[in-house]
Amino acid sequence: MKQEIAQIKQQIKNYTISSSDELEAFRLQFLSKKGSIQELFKFMKKIPKKEKAAFGKSLNELKKLAQNTFDQAKVAQSDTHTVLLSAKDDISLTSLSLPVGSVHPLTKTLQEMKNIFYRLGFNIADGPEVEDDFHNFTALNFPPNHPARDTQDTFFIRKDENPTIPDLVLRTHTSPVQIRLMEKQAPPIRSIMPGRVYRNEAVSPKSYFLFHQVEALYVDQHVSVADLKESLITFVKLMYGSDVIYRLRPSYFPFTEPSLEMDIWWGSKTNGKWLEILGSGMVDPNVFMASGVDPEQYSGFAWGMGVERIAILKYGISDIRIFYDNDIRFLNQFI
Ligand code: DAH
């Protein structure tokens, strides 16, 4: 008898239940009234008294094993398993990968820049991309015949012979937002102004007719060149790491005096070159006066950074046009 119990136990353990038909077959074979376990119970009467208890116990254990096996298989058959297993799908296969989008490297760079300037206490201001001549040029102290007003550089939206009708341009830089900010807000001002700018330039690996700048303006009492230098140096160290190689050079802009440009060393120590990333300076008193700020009371610094330049350095990109090609092979590298 013991041998038979062991045999049925083995059968139960070896049984594979992978469909509802097999589950039913299992129930009939082991758990139904005519099943093999129930058959064994019939032998109870014939077992000598002494062994009855032990025999009964092992039969009950066997029944329990069959019941548990049945219950587990039933759960596994429910839900999706029923569908998958009965349809003979291979559930070990990996699923199809879905295409994942990525953040554009310029957006990524801009986000990083904004995060740095938030930390330095700057907020964000905004201005229009179609500007009038006053905000784009005149208020920024551009003399009437300055070459930057030339049609070579500027996309004109409206240019009328009649001097009372103001010219409209696609802004050539983000500096006009400085003027708009000072027109509507009294100092202290500490803002960055990110945005698109447009220049009528030939497209080449180094220049494109549209690019991005991050303008900054800090106006308060006693703002000095030392504050400007400190802010710029802090920025490049946070952006590129504390071992970044930079230099500040004297320069000229109509709207700042004195003016500085900042370059970053691009390439290895022995084989590289300087790449200009921004123009900056102390706000010219004429600019303050054009925007209604008293230059006797306030001083300030400003800069305009090229976002593409910053990204080129950050990611080692050699052709500015690639930012605008929407080539998925390029963009996928920024996931
Ligand atoms: N607007 C200048 C340009 O597009 C960049 C610039 C230089 C902005 C000096 C500034 C500044 O605010 O102070 O080339």
**150 confidence band (pLDDT: 50, 70, 90):** confident
Query: Residue 61 Cα, ligand 1 centroid: separation in angstroms?
Result: 87
Most confident residue range from 90-99, 140-149, 168-177: 168-177
Mutate to test the pocket of ligand 1, among 207, 223, 303 (most ligand atoms within 8 A of CB): 303
Please give all residues whose beta carbon lies within 6 A of any atom in ligand 1, as ranges: 173, 175, 215, 253, 256, 279-281, 302-304
The CA distance from 307 to 78, in Å, is 57
Query: Would you state the pLDDT for residue 269?
Result: 85
Say whether domain 106-334 belongs to CATH 3.40.1110.10.
no
Exposure class string for 234-273: b at 16+ Cβ within 10 A, else e: ebbebbbeeeeebebeeeebbbbeebbbbbbbbeeeeeee
Residue ID of nearest Cα to ligand 1 atom 3 = 173
What is the DSSP secondary structure assignment for residue 28, as one 8-state letter? Answer: I
Atom of ligand 1 nearest to the CA of 281: 13
Query: Would you state the pLDDT for residue 20?
Result: 85
Could you tell me which residue, 39 or 95, shows the higher pLDDT?
A: 39
As a whole number, the mean pLDDT across the chain is 91
User: CB–CB of 80/91 below 8 Å?
Assistant: no
Query: Would you state the pLDDT for residue 152?
Result: 63
Atom of ligand 1 nearest to the CA of 215: 12
Query: Residue 252 Cα, ligand 1 centroid: separation in angstroms?
Result: 10
Residue ID of nearest Cα to ligand 1 atom 10 = 303
Query: Would you state the pLDDT for residue 148?
Result: 67
Q: Return the biggest CA–CA distance within the chain.
A: 125
Mutate to test the pocket of ligand 1, among 153, 175, 276, 305 (most ligand atoms within 8 A of CB): 175
Query: Residue 306 Cα, ligand 1 centroid: separation in angstroms?
Result: 9
| Residue 217 pLDDT exceeds 70 | yes
The token duo for 237 is 């160290």
| Residue 295 pLDDT exceeds 90 | yes
Assessment of whether the complete model's pTM goes beyond 0.75: no
The CA distance from 193 to 319, in Å, is 25
| Residue 18 pLDDT exceeds 80 | yes
Q: What is the mean pLDDT of residues 82-104?
A: 73
Could you tell me which residue, 98 or 303, shows the higher pLDDT?
A: 303
Query: Would you state the pLDDT for residue 43?
Result: 87
In the chain, where the domains are located: 2-88, 106-334
Mutate to test the pocket of ligand 1, among 141, 255, 286 (most ligand atoms within 8 A of CB): 255
pLDDT digits 0-9 by tens, 96-131: 878 788 899 999 999 999 999 999 999 999 999 999
Share of the chain above pLDDT 90, in %: 69
Our CA angle for 89, 90, 94, nearest 5°, is 125
**151 confidence band (pLDDT: 50, 70, 90):** low
| Residue 90 pLDDT exceeds 80 | no
| Residue 149 pLDDT exceeds 80 | no
**79 confidence band (pLDDT: 50, 70, 90):** low
Query: Residue 175 Cα, ligand 1 centroid: separation in angstroms?
Result: 6
Supply the angle between the helices 49-77 and 79-86 in degrees, to the nearest 10: 80
**88 confidence band (pLDDT: 50, 70, 90):** low
Lowest-confidence region among 51-55, 191-195, 250-254: 51-55
Query: Would you state the pLDDT for residue 117?
Result: 97
Could you tell me which residue, 83 or 228, shows the higher pLDDT?
A: 228
Query: Residue 279 Cα, ligand 1 centroid: separation in angstroms?
Result: 5
Q: What is the mean pLDDT of residues 212-224?
A: 98
